[in-house]
Structure 1
Amino acid sequence: MLDEEFFPRRRMDRGVRDSVKKLLHYSVVLLGFFLALSMAGIDLKNFAVLAGALGIGIGFGLQNIVNNFISGLILLFERPIKVGDMVVVDNEWGTVRKIGLRSTTVETFDLAELIVPNSLLVSEKVTNWTLSNSRSRLVIPVGVAYGSDVPKVLTILAEAARQHPDVLKEPEPSPIFVAFGDSSLDFELRVWMADAQKRLLVRNDLLQYIDRRFREEGVEIPFPQRDLHLRSVDSAIIGGMQEKPAPPRSE
């Protein structure tokens, strides 16, 4: 009824709808519990005293459960995360699928479901990529060989950003020459996307385009390398190398 009549008229987003439904559900359950006690002839005043006494003992034994329960209420009221948000929890990327009073279900990109205690979402650091808006910045590091044409590399990176339909025109994409690396000239391509859910797809497309254009333009992507310089070598070692007979040739 709420989904068909009430919510469409109010134009509430999915997160607000889920919070309202859960709060109404738990309120009805709690009200029904007290009505059942009243109809059974149990004095609610006596029950309150008994519940208070039991609460002290249960609080120590079920401290984590109570903590998660209170944290679930905080999530429903403050809404730092909502159903459908893309979050990073303990270095795991995923989409929030369900927020309960004890735990929250996060679906990873591998379609695995993480059951995260609500207390963790309230007390620990959680990255929410879609809290206030779904825009997201993507940074792609690129390294090319020393001696490469720097303006040409910057042009190719800018071209890669302009041709992709999911890359925003504003803020404007930024190809940047970052540093002289150990084995390469280091660049970064910084772009903005309208939908953070497409980060992996956009990254894949841009990397493929950059690789193809580099090969067409003869821009080399180097392997890590080290140069070894010998300042001094023991003369006995040099003499031994010179006097060592060559191995016999097999016929």
Structure 2
Amino acid sequence: MEEEVNNKSDWTSSISDILGWSLDFSIGERNFSISLLDVLMILVIIILTRIIIWSIKKALNTRVTHNKLDKGKAYAIKQIVTYLFWTISIVYMLDYVGVKITALLVGSTALFVGLGLGLQDTFKDFVAGFVILMERTVTVGDIVEVDGVIGRVLEVGLRTTFVQTRDDIYLIIPNQRLTNQQVINWSQSKRVTRFSVSVGVAYGSDTKKVKELLLEAVKEHTMVAKNPDPIVHFRDFGNSSLDFMVHFYSSNLFRIETVKSDIRFTIDQKFRENGITIPFPQRDLWIRNWQEAGRDEAPKSTKETDE
């Protein structure tokens, strides 16, 4: 019995010796020591942090699935929670191994000043990222227009936002551009948006028939909303045509150009079937006193030939 106790004591002592093994190093004038136990504790903190974040994300996804939480709001909460918990974990791990954050900040003031001057745009992007995530002015799935480029938001990061354009080109936009510049968020209203297609018909066309055909072409498309109803405007008497514009509503914001193209095909087909002509540009050329101009130019031309 006594031998068993001694063996157990030796085994415990061996484990303590292993866990007590440490690595000593220095940074500047400060000395640090990290033991195997510290490494294990750091791993435990990392694992716990990942489990907590995973649990929160799963709970948010469940609420989104049951329509109890908006998808964009859930994404913003997940991003903020992720950044917050990892920041807390990193600070705690540094403090656990003996790195005092306060002393580190005080001792690195000059370094941070230099970094602040050199990376001020990056810091602005970080601040803008928090603003976007908190205010949710732009979130995943939104259709936005930045500098005339329209695209779908794929990811809102802490520094940059990833956007997919209608040409399937992926843009990386610094977050400060989304807060400092004018940005059109087509999805912000969460309702259908109005679009339009223009067309001109030849003078003498039956304008009531034109209006009827335009409404038919729009209403036949499956991606056009039934409410509000589409409307047709007789815009103007153009130089070569009678100009019309048909307005319609759709929720297919990202691929709306494809919808417009389909509607134009349908309009062209219906106009052909009903004898409605889409005219070419026309221009009338008037020449005044052309006979006198011809007589004046003839001698001049002969004289040049003689020479």
Q: 1 CA distance for matches of 2:263 and 2:293?
A: 56
Gaps in structure 1 of 5+ consecutive residues? 245-251
Q: 1 CA distance for matches of 2:235 and 2:142?
A: 32
Q: Aligned match of 1:136 in 193, 207, 211?
A: 193
More divergent stretch after superposition (227-236 vs 124-133): 227-236
Residue 23 (structure 1) aligned with residue 97 (structure 2): no
Is this contact kept in 2: 1:134–1:196, CA < 8 A?
no
Q: 2 CA distance for matches of 1:235 and 1:6?
A: 87
Q: 2 CA distance for matches of 1:12 and 1:128?
A: 21
1:89 deviates by: 1.5
1:53 deviates by: 4.3
For 2:283, what is the secondary structure of its paired residue?
coil
For 2:260, the equivalent position in structure 1 comes to 203
1:206 deviates by: 1.3
1:131 deviates by: 1.1
For 1:248, the equivalent position in structure 2 comes to none
Instruction: Look at both structures and tell me which one has the larger radius of gyration over its CA atoms.
Output: 2
State the Cα deviation string for residues 121-162 of structure 1 (Å, max 9, x = none).
111111111112141111111111111111111111122223
For 1:13, the equivalent position in structure 2 comes to 70
Q: Aligned match of 2:283 in 204, 207, 226?
A: 226
The aligned amino acid for 1:123 is: N
Task: Give the TM-score normalised by structure 1.
Answer: 0.88
Q: 2 CA distance for matches of 1:40 and 1:146?
A: 85
Q: Aligned match of 1:80 in 119, 132, 137?
A: 137
Greater fraction of residues in helix:
2
Q: Aligned match of 1:111 in 168, 174, 194?
A: 168
Q: Structure 1 residues 236 and 135 mapped into 2: Cα distance closer, same or farther (>3 Å)? A: closer
Percent identical across equivalent pairs? Answer: 37
Q: Aligned match of 1:98 in 140, 155, 175?
A: 155
Q: 2 CA distance for matches of 1:43 and 1:162?
A: 68
1:21 deviates by: 1.6
Q: 1 CA distance for matches of 2:149 and 2:255?
A: 16
Residue 54 (structure 1) aligned with residue 54 (structure 2): no
More divergent stretch after superposition (217-226 vs 3-12): 3-12
For 1:44, the equivalent position in structure 2 comes to 101
The aligned amino acid for 1:207 is: R
> Which structure has the higher relative contact order (CA within 8 Å, separation 6+)?
1
For 2:248, what is the secondary structure of its paired residue?
strand
Report how many aligned residue pairs link the two structures.
245
1:46 deviates by: 1.7
Task: Give the TM-score normalised by structure 2.
Answer: 0.73
State the Cα deviation string for residues 193-230 of structure 1 (Å, max 9, x = none).
13323412321221111100100111111111211111
Alignment of 1:137-176 (within 5 A): 137-176=194-233
More divergent stretch after superposition (229-238 vs 141-150): 229-238
For 1:196, what is the secondary structure of its paired residue?
coil
Is this contact kept in 2: 1:103–1:116, CA < 8 A?
yes
Q: 2 CA distance for matches of 1:145 and 1:188?
A: 15
For 2:90, the equivalent position in structure 1 comes to 33
Q: Structure 1 residues 126 and 239 mapped into 2: Cα distance closer, same or farther (>3 Å)? A: same
Is this contact kept in 2: 1:137–1:193, CA < 8 A?
yes
More divergent stretch after superposition (61-70 vs 131-140): 131-140
More divergent stretch after superposition (26-35 vs 120-129): 26-35
Q: 2 CA distance for matches of 1:171 and 1:115?
A: 36
